[in-house]
Amino acid sequence: MELNTETVCGLILQIRQFDGKEANVDPDSGSDPGDTEADDVPFKDTLQTTARDSIEDVLRSEIEAMNEEEQAELVALAWLGRGDYTPDQFAAAKTDARSRHEGPTTDYLLGQPMLGDLLAEGLSAIGQPCEF
């Protein structure tokens, strides 16, 4: 495998933080402003995506910094984790990831629900599990 397992495991942890975020909530939608003051909720932005949130930018930078082969391996690991391929078909999954490539790989990967879990399952399937 081109990718270092520790690198993928670090990426998985960051992806899980990203996956745990929710869309911004409109504070004026149906709530009585007198019910809750902004200062009453100390970490209100922790689980919400905000304009100043950098986790997506970090993920995009890390994935985009990878070469095409490494990006293809990430896609193949996700497909393996999703059950599209078996562990003995990992090489074929990488070949298919390269040949099916359309558009930015980062957009494709970050659009996958539960990407962190898929990557972790893929690594486990090829005998290189993360040690979290």
12-23 residue pLDDT tens: 999 998 876 555
- List the chain domain ranges: 5-23+37-125
Cα 4 → chain centroid: 17
pLDDT grade, residue 50 (50/70/90)? low
pLDDT in tens, 65-121: 999 999 999 999 999 999 999 999 999 999 999 999 888 999 999 999 999 999 999
With contact defined as beta carbons under 8 Å apart, do 129 and 120 qualify? yes
Which tokens sit at 126?
Answer: 């090829």
Name the strand (E) or helix (H) holding 15: helix 5-19
